[in-house]
Amino acid sequence: MRGLLVGRFQPFHAGHLGTVRRLRTEASDEELIVAIGSAEQSYTWENPFTASERFEMIARALAEASIDGVLVVPVADIHRHALWVRYLEGLLPEFGRVYTNNPLTRLLFEKSGYRVERPPLLDRTHLEGRKLRELLASGRPLGNRVPRSVARYLAEIDAAGRLALLRGAATARSGTRRR
Amino acid sequence: MRGLLVGRFQPFHAGHLGTVRRLRTEASDEELIVAIGSAEQSYTWENPFTASERFEMIARALAEASIDGVLVVPVADIHRHALWVRYLEGLLPEFGRVYTNNPLTRLLFEKSGYRVERPPLLDRTHLEGRKLRELLASGRPLGNRVPRSVARYLAEIDAAGRLALLRGAATARSGTRRR
Amino acid sequence: MRGLLVGRFQPFHAGHLGTVRRLRTEASDEELIVAIGSAEQSYTWENPFTASERFEMIARALAEASIDGVLVVPVADIHRHALWVRYLEGLLPEFGRVYTNNPLTRLLFEKSGYRVERPPLLDRTHLEGRKLRELLASGRPLGNRVPRSVARYLAEIDAAGRLALLRGAATARSGTRRR
Amino acid sequence: MRGLLVGRFQPFHAGHLGTVRRLRTEASDEELIVAIGSAEQSYTWENPFTASERFEMIARALAEASIDGVLVVPVADIHRHALWVRYLEGLLPEFGRVYTNNPLTRLLFEKSGYRVERPPLLDRTHLEGRKLRELLASGRPLGNRVPRSVARYLAEIDAAGRLALLRGAATARSGTRRR
Amino acid sequence: MRGLLVGRFQPFHAGHLGTVRRLRTEASDEELIVAIGSAEQSYTWENPFTASERFEMIARALAEASIDGVLVVPVADIHRHALWVRYLEGLLPEFGRVYTNNPLTRLLFEKSGYRVERPPLLDRTHLEGRKLRELLASGRPLGNRVPRSVARYLAEIDAAGRLALLRGAATARSGTRRR
Amino acid sequence: MRGLLVGRFQPFHAGHLGTVRRLRTEASDEELIVAIGSAEQSYTWENPFTASERFEMIARALAEASIDGVLVVPVADIHRHALWVRYLEGLLPEFGRVYTNNPLTRLLFEKSGYRVERPPLLDRTHLEGRKLRELLASGRPLGNRVPRSVARYLAEIDAAGRLALLRGAATARSGTRRR
């Protein structure tokens, strides 16, 4: 039975890759579905990269690390939590196990009877994604926080320029709202 | 002519019940429509309960209090304020009087020519809903702030566990945004 | 446990009323939910009446027949069959039994584990709705095919005029498409 | 007070232009709003041209005919007839008079209290639009059925090629459905 | 080739008018499209006025200033940044030049190959809009920050009352969220 | 550069498989994206299978045939032809070549500058899908028209029962409309 790992991957980083490698090693006869959440979002501070770009990062990182048996699927938001699990069941190939650290995701899947596990190596993914966006926006190096192929791709698409601009826009808007 | 009371009822509490009882007593020959707003929302800190759960709370509270003549109707958001009154007119059975403390609701209905009144006993509903969600999230008792049947139902569906989790998620996200 | 009867009720007719009466009599301790499907549709040949008007018809017919214990709920289409049962579960108060003659509705509910029964007296509802729309469009009397209160309401809102117009529009458009 | 003329303008033809000229002449102190309906539709047999292309046709035809005082506004469908008039009121600048031959449009506006008139010269617009699409799809000349500037524009964007292709697709699909 | 100026115009103020006048003067043979963004929004603190009201303000201000050659088009949000430029291309008549100070708008248009320029006189438009909403909400005079015809229109529709109310609602909601 | 094959795969049949095999053989260093169109549709006569089920069919058929280098991606409809290519570009990993027999798909991609080719062995795919649905609905064997693994999967999910039911529903509805 396939496993399912859901994330936004803004960007796809070394923690994600380590988790995917571990899951594929521990259960090598079991494919892993990597669902790219909020696929319709892009060019915002929280979701700077399109699903296409995130798919590309994941594909390159998996190729670099010679990991196979992974199905990458972009998934648009449905904005109705009560329908979300059912929505994924209708979209993805069959899966039997869910890996997540997100408490809401855990709750929704458990209510639907799924076995939910904490993914290895991924305790602070959410914070790591934000940290990486901030490093990019500040023009600082990401070091080994992302796979090499991802670092090259981020340079190709000038991620640093985009993030700096989006951080500025988010700050301006937030300032407006604070009033 | 029926009256209309709009709310989100997250959860349905004693203030809501008192208001409904009073309206049904003062105008006993006039049915009351209770519209459950933001019906499509659930599993968020602001809107933790599904429309189904909120409908269930209201149905149980009305049965417990032996109140009849109430039509409960879940209403999804339309996200276009300029169309909202027209949208309700096309969805609900005829009504002639609107009860609300929400100033925007009042403005929109008055622009459409409705008579709008402040509901009795319900001056601080919005605050009360938030207060109750916070009590639930902290695992503290609600006392007589909710009807008994609602308290039992909230225990049945483990509302306290859900609210604790959702408060955590909302705080994490808000922290992200503050950055 | 409540029962659920789903229909479009374009218009609500004597067959519907007979079914509701029977269900309320046979299981008088069990409320019946009457869900008005395609609630967002109106002013088309297939769906001429708004949810508001259909709600009004049902409310008047139930009052005329002194039937209580019925919860009327307008339900907008979700346009995703795979999510439909889950969508209703999140919107309506709890139900345990479903009454339908529609084979797709039956299939979807049975796949979700519901007990589905054929409603009494309602074998040809779909045909009856169309027949009534055609009678209205032709300005012919409906006789006892609809409850008296519904007949009066249809006269009040000039249903005959509306249906004649909508039939004309549907025919014109269908002609266009045939090309 | 402005007048409002609603159409899909697939394509904008000589009948439309004649009507606009007449309305601008008869009420020269009154601007005319030309609303391009189904603005989000394109590349279908019924709606082959984008709103952008239809806007362009109208702009060129008005310039060619030296007609001013016309406000052209693309309007996306809202798919809820009961809200349609209110939707237009929130989108368009104030108008007080509506020109239409479409009986449903007439009904909806009259229910909202508008004065509705039949536009001059435009009795068979709907048929004319279809006729022109068929001529284009067959590669036959449109003659003076469209303004010269529109004919040139249709040639520029290879409307004939597009229509031939879309007619083929519509026929194939209709055949599928007939089964 | 037409120019395109995108804004929300909440409200349309003297800075907007000065920009439009300048652009029409500098390139008098080139029409200017003024796109009213977030057209579906209204009755919120950030977007208090309907597209209809904003269109009306712009039409009156242009008439007062005797500026012609401007095409005003309301444009609803599409909520997918990656599609936004393509969406505008399908909706608006052809344009070849874009005027904006918004860095995200600039980025998206430049990625699509457009020439983007900073509009004259409009460096702080965003701040000016907020400032004007705050003045209105506080009942203070706008002075010459808006064209006279706009000031009169804002008085006609009681903009001050609406803004005071919306500021109150936004503050209450923001307070809720801060918790 | 990857190739892209778009289809609805209702169901995935031997013609599809042959095409995929050929494309993977001819360009073995080039991954192939198989996009499952109308992913949100299911339980209709035209689109009987969920995206999940179609994904499963394709995954099993590729495994049975030992074909790798294929990325399967469900893609929901966007219902705006003018945005469709841009939408796919934002969702899928980079691709440079498109395989299709659908003339509209060809037109839209060519307008966006793509190289479009006819897929080998797939001249009558659309007809084949309909033919297979009809065989299923009639309870007749599919023979070697589908890969063995797909035949087994269709039996597992009782595709024949579902199709028989959906054909009945489609016929009933079509009869209604004909009136």
For the stretch F67-94, pLDDT in tens is 999 999 999 999 999 999 999 999 999 9
H helices within chain C, ranges in order? 14-26, 51-64, 84-91, 103-111, 125-137, 148-156, 159-178
Query: How much is the mean pLDDT over chain E?
Result: 92
Query: How are the residues of chain B apportioned to helix, strand and coil, as percentages rounded to the nearest 5?
Result: 50, 10, 35
* Chain F residues in contact with D162 (beta carbon < 8 A): 107
Query: How much is the mean pLDDT over chain B?
Result: 92
Helices A51-64, F84-91: axis angle to 10 degrees equals 30
Q: Is F43's CB within 8 Å of C126's CB?
A: no
Count how many pairs of residues, chain C against chain F, have C-beta atoms within 8 Å: 32
Task: Establish how many alpha carbons lie within 13 A of residue E63's alpha carbon, considering only the half-sphere containing its beta carbon.
Answer: 10
* pLDDT band per the 50, 70, 90 thresholds, residue F177: very low
Q: Is C176's CB within 8 Å of D81's CB?
A: no
Q: What is the mean pLDDT of residues B97-123?
A: 88
What pLDDT digit, counting tens, does each position of C36-57 carry?
Answer: 999 999 999 999 999 999 999 9
CA distance B85 to chain D (A): 10
Q: What is the mean pLDDT of residues A21-36?
A: 93
Task: Between D85 and D170, name the one with better pLDDT.
Answer: D85
Neighbouring residues of A173: CB distance < 8 A, sequence distance ≥ 6: none
What pLDDT was estimated at residue C168?
A: 86
What pLDDT was estimated at residue E89?
A: 98
Q: Is F39's CB within 8 Å of A91's CB?
A: yes
Strands D2-7 and D32-36: parallel
* pLDDT band per the 50, 70, 90 thresholds, residue D176: very low
Q: What is the mean pLDDT of residues D134-138?
A: 97
What pLDDT was estimated at residue F123?
A: 57
Among all chains, which residue has been given the structure tokens 């049902």? Answer: C58
Helix, strand or coil for residue F77? coil
The pLDDT tens digits along chain E (179 residues) read 899 999 999 999 999 999 999 999 988 889 999 999 999 999 999 999 999 999 999 999 999 999 999 999 999 999 999 999 999 999 999 999 999 888 899 999 999 999 999 887 665 665 689 999 999 999 999 999 999 999 999 999 999 999 999 998 877 665 444 33
What pLDDT digit, counting tens, does each position of B25-43 carry?
Answer: 988 889 999 999 999 999 9
What pLDDT was estimated at residue A28?
A: 82
Task: Say if E81 is an interface residue toward chain A (CB within 8 Å).
Answer: yes
Check pLDDT > 80 for residue F173: no
What angle (nearest 5°) sits at the alpha carbon of residue C141, between those of residues C139 and C147? 130
Q: Is there a contact between A87 and A106 (Cβ–Cβ < 8 Å)?
A: no
What pLDDT was estimated at residue D119?
A: 85
State the DSSP string of A30-81.
Answer: S-EEEEESSTT--SSSSS-S-HHHHHHHHHHHHHHTT--SEEEEE----S-G
CA distances from B72 to B32, B33, B56, C80 (A): 9, 6, 10, 25
Q: Is E94's CB within 8 Å of D42's CB?
A: no
* Chain B: residue whose CA lies nearest to E178: B174
* pLDDT band per the 50, 70, 90 thresholds, residue D174: low
Helix, strand or coil for residue F80? coil
What sign does the CA torsion over E36, E39, E43, E49 have?
A: positive
Residue D55 CA to residue D53 CA, distance in Å, equals: 5
CA distances from A113 to A80, A85, A86, A108, E80 (A): 19, 10, 12, 9, 33
Residue B153 CA to residue F123 CA, distance in Å, equals: 60
Compare CB distances from D90 to B83, B89, B90 and report the shortest one's residue.
Answer: B83
Which two structure tokens, joined as six digits, stand for E93? 């008549």
Check pLDDT > 80 for residue A128: yes
* Chain D residues in contact with E92 (beta carbon < 8 A): 51-52, 55, 74
What pLDDT was estimated at residue C178?
A: 37
Which two structure tokens, joined as six digits, stand for B47? 């809107």
Residue F60 CA to residue F54 CA, distance in Å, equals: 10
Task: Say if D80 is an interface residue toward chain B (CB within 8 Å).
Answer: yes
Check pLDDT > 70 for residue B158: yes
What angle (nearest 5°) sits at the alpha carbon of residue B59, between those of residues B55 and B63? 170
Q: What is the biggest distance separating any 2 CA atoms in chain B, rounded to whole angstroms?
A: 55
Q: What is the mean pLDDT of residues C155-160?
A: 97
Task: Between A26 and C109, name the one with better pLDDT.
Answer: C109
* Chain E residues in contact with F89 (beta carbon < 8 A): 82
Query: How much is the mean pLDDT over chain C?
Result: 92
Query: How much is the mean pLDDT over chain F?
Result: 92
Task: Say if F169 is an interface residue toward chain C (CB within 8 Å).
Answer: yes
* pLDDT band per the 50, 70, 90 thresholds, residue A177: very low
* Chain B: residue whose CA lies nearest to C89: B52
H helix or E strand, kind and range, residue D4: strand D2-7
* pLDDT band per the 50, 70, 90 thresholds, residue C27: confident
Check pLDDT > 70 for residue A157: yes
Burial B58-78 (b: 16+ CB within 10 A, else e): bbbbbeebebeebbbbbbbeb
CA distance A174 to chain E (A): 12
Task: Say if B78 is an interface residue toward chain E (CB within 8 Å).
Answer: no
What pLDDT was estimated at residue A124?
A: 61
* pLDDT band per the 50, 70, 90 thresholds, residue B123: low
The model's pTM:
0.94
Task: Say if E157 is an interface residue toward chain D (CB within 8 Å).
Answer: no
What pLDDT was estimated at residue F58?
A: 98
Query: How are the residues of chain E apportioned to helix, strand and coil, as percentages rounded to the nearest 5?
Result: 50, 10, 35
* Chain F residues in contact with D178 (beta carbon < 8 A): 174
Helices D125-137, D14-26: axis angle to 10 degrees equals 150
pLDDT above 90: percentage of residues in chain B? 82
- Tell me the ipTM for this assembly: 0.93
What pLDDT was estimated at residue D97?
A: 94
* Chain C residues in contact with F165 (beta carbon < 8 A): 103-104, 107
Task: Between A102 and B164, name the one with better pLDDT.
Answer: B164
What pLDDT was estimated at residue F153?
A: 98
pLDDT above 90: percentage of residues in chain F? 82
Neighbouring residues of A128: CB distance < 8 A, sequence distance ≥ 6: A13, A15, A145
* Chain F residues in contact with E86 (beta carbon < 8 A): 82-83, 86
Task: Say if C70 is an interface residue toward chain B (CB within 8 Å).
Answer: no
pLDDT above 90: percentage of residues in chain D? 82
Q: Is there a contact between B3 and B32 (Cβ–Cβ < 8 Å)?
A: yes
Count how many pairs of residues, chain A against chain E, have C-beta atoms within 8 Å: 32
Query: How much is the mean pLDDT over chain A?
Result: 92
Helices D159-178, F103-111: axis angle to 10 degrees equals 150
What pLDDT digit, counting tens, does each position of F26-77 carry?
Answer: 888 899 999 999 999 999 999 999 999 999 999 999 999 999 999 999 999 9
Q: Is F44's CB within 8 Å of C126's CB?
A: no
Task: Between F169 and E72, name the one with better pLDDT.
Answer: E72
Interface test with D, best of E75, E91, E149, E156 (most D CBs within 10 A): E91
* Chain A: residue whose CA lies nearest to B51: A82
* Chain D residues in contact with C156 (beta carbon < 8 A): none
Q: Is there a contact between D69 and D157 (Cβ–Cβ < 8 Å)?
A: no
Residue C72 CA to residue C67 CA, distance in Å, equals: 12
Which residues share a beta bridge with E34?
E5, E72
What pLDDT digit, counting tens, does each position of F105-124 carry?
Answer: 999 999 999 999 988 766 56
Phi, psi of A6 (to 5 degrees): -105, 135
Which residues share a beta bridge with E35?
E6, E73
H helix or E strand, kind and range, residue A5: strand A2-7
Which two structure tokens, joined as six digits, stand for B149? 């049947």
Q: Is D50's CB within 8 Å of F130's CB?
A: no
